[in-house]
Amino acid sequence: MILVTGAAGFIGANFVLDWLAQSQEPVVNLDKLTYAGNLETLASVQGDERHTFVQGDIGDSTLVARLLAEHQPRAVINFAAESHVDRSIHSPEDFIQTNVVGT
């Protein structure tokens, strides 16, 4: 099992779709569903027992610790990021919380 953060964003969702198309290994998908997250991208894996979606923030250490203990992933792949340039300028605290503190 792997834990993928930011997996409802463009890059993360495509990673999850590709992963599940090529592997039977389950994925836990952790995403905050900010402006960049879109669960419709993952509609084709809704109901797939290999895919578990959890809405939450990588900066929530209690949630992340619970997911790590509960699922014991062999790997964590991080796509969670505040990467839109304008947003990082107008709201640098969000950028720092997600990209630095959360990671």
pLDDT digits (tens, 9 = 90+) for 41-88: 999 999 999 999 999 998 899 999 999 999 999 999 998 866 655 655
What angle (nearest 5°) sits at the alpha carbon of residue 47, between those of residues 44 and 48?
75
Residue 23 is predicted with a pLDDT of 95
Question: Number of structural domains, the chain?
Answer: 1
Min mean pLDDT across 4-18, 19-33, 70-84 is at 70-84
Given the structure tokens 């993928």, which residue do they identify? 4
DSSP state of 102: I
Residue 82 is predicted with a pLDDT of 65
Whose CA is closest to 83, among 72, 94, 73?
A: 94
End-to-end CA distance of the chain: 20
Whose CA is closest to 40, among 20, 18, 10?
A: 10
Which residues span the domain enclosing 39?
2-102
Asked if 55 and 100 count as a contact pair (C-beta separation under 8 A), the reply is no
* CATH code for the domain in which residue 85 is found: 3.40.50.720
